[in-house]
């Protein structure tokens, strides 16, 4: 029997080892597959990097040939000035949007706190009124009980004994009314303390209407920027500079480039110094508010086509009409609040 038992144990251990080898093999195959996939991804990344390096080298060589011509240097300066105009305008929009959003957030938070305080004060006033009525009634009952006790104290003898009995009944009745009233007053007092200790709920952020107003103001500024720079013929050139390579753009002779180099910073500096800046911006925002339509009740960004007429009105007297939202001028779309 001992041999049979040992044989059985040996068979079981062999099966366990076989199963362990099977699972180890499966784990190794899984790890091998993972390493193969990782190697494939690394090879793809390497190919992409090599292609990017070759493209950069080709571009550097192209730029070197371009700048070998002294005239091209002036063209390059103007090109990067226009890119700077675009990037500066985009940064101004982001700054404007962030400031408007911060102010809107502060305003709506203060409004929520004001509504909360008003509601709390109304509840406290209502409680105070009820408690004052109770205090008056409690004081009346306590005074009545005190007077009845004083009368009882003044009564002596057998005649006084009979007269004290109805007074005792009145005192019992007064105490019966006083006890629940005192209990209710204590409850209201505790409720008053709880209400007085309440704090405004956590602010959940600017609502949809607030975000829409912010976005329409940002679009109004972007539209105003486009109209302003278009008057000097700079807006479309700034856009070309961010979507086209330098090799494909020419701004003319050295003298023409020099004039543009002098004009661009002067025009940029004059954007906000215009005394009508604020009024024109406000007027543009009001026009957008009147015209804007949204796809759903939850959307905070208007449909671009609903602003077409406003864009046309903004460019009256200029041949360069542009719906800044539809064309994502100054990268306005990425600036808007979701």
Round to whole Å and give the CA distance between 251 and 262.
13
Does residue 217 sit in the same domain as residue 312?
yes
Does residue 223 sit in the same domain as residue 177?
no
Asked if the structure places residue 9 within a domain, the reply is yes
Q: Which of 170, 196, 222 is the last residue of a domain?
A: 196
> What are the pLDDT digits (tens) for 5-60?
444 555 667 677 767 777 777 777 788 888 888 888 888 888 888 877 776 666 66
> What are the pLDDT digits (tens) for 271-295?
888 788 888 888 989 999 999 999 9
Does residue 96 sit in the same domain as residue 190?
no
CATH for 137: 1.20.58
Q: Which of 169, 196, 223 is the last residue of a domain?
A: 196
Does residue 26 sit in the same domain as residue 5?
yes
Structural domain range at position 59: 1-68
> What are the pLDDT digits (tens) for 75-117?
989 999 999 999 999 999 999 999 999 999 999 999 999 999 9
Q: Is 56 helix (H, G, I), strand (E, B) or coil?
A: helix
What domain count does the chain have? Answer: 3
Asked if the structure places residue 201 within a domain, the reply is no
What is the distance between the terminal CA atoms of the chain, rounded to a whole angstrom? 81
Interacting residues of 324 by C-beta distance below 8 A, sequence separation 6+? 219, 222, 223, 226, 311, 330, 332
Does residue 77 sit in the same domain as residue 221?
yes
Does residue 110 sit in the same domain as residue 171?
no
Does residue 100 sit in the same domain as residue 246?
yes
Which residue reads 């400031």 in tokens? 99
Q: What's the predicted TM-score (pTM) here?
A: 0.69
């Amino acid at each position: 029997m001992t041999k049979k038992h040992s044989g059985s144990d040996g068979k079981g251990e062999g099966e366990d080892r076989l199963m362990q080898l099977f699972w180890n093999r499966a784990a190794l195959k899984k790890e091998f597959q993972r390493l193969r996939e990782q190697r494939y991804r690394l090879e793809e990344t390497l190919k992409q990097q090599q292609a990017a390096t070759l493209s950069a080298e080709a571009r550097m060589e192209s730029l070197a040939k371009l700048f070998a011509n002294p005239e091209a240097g002036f063209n390059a300066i103007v090109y990067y000035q226009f890119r700077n105009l675009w990037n500066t305008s985009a940064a101004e929009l982001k700054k404007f949007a962030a400031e408007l959003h911060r102010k809107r957030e502060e305003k709506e938070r203060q409004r929520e706190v004001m509504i909360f305080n008003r509601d709390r004060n109304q509840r406290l006033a209502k409680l105070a009124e009820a408690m004052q009525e109770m205090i008056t009634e409690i004081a009346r009952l306590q005074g009545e009980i005190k007077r009845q006790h004083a009368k009882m104290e003044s009564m002596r003898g057998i005649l006084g004994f009979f007269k004290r009995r109805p007074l005792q009944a009145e005192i019992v009745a007064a105490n019966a009314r006083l006890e629940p009233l005192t209990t209710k007053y204590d409850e209201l007092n505790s409720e008053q303390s709880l209400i007085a200790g309440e704090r405004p709920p956590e602010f959940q952020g600017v609502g949809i209407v607030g975000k829409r107003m912010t976005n329409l103001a940002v679009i109004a500024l972007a539209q105003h920027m486009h109209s302003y720079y278009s008057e000097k013929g700079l807006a479309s050139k700034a856009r070309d500079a961010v979507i086209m390579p330098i090799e494909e753009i020419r701004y003319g002779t050295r003298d023409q480039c020099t004039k543009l180099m002098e004009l661009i910073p002067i025009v940029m500096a004059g954007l906000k110094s215009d005394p009508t800046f604020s009024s024109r911006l406000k007027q543009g925002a009001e026009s957008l508010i009147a015209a804007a339509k949204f796809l759903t009740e939850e959307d905070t960004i208007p449909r671009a086509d609903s602003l077409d007429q406003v864009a046309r009105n903004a460019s009256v007297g200029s041949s360069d009409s542009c719906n800044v939202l539809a064309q994502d001028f100054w990268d306005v779309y990425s600036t808007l609040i979701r």
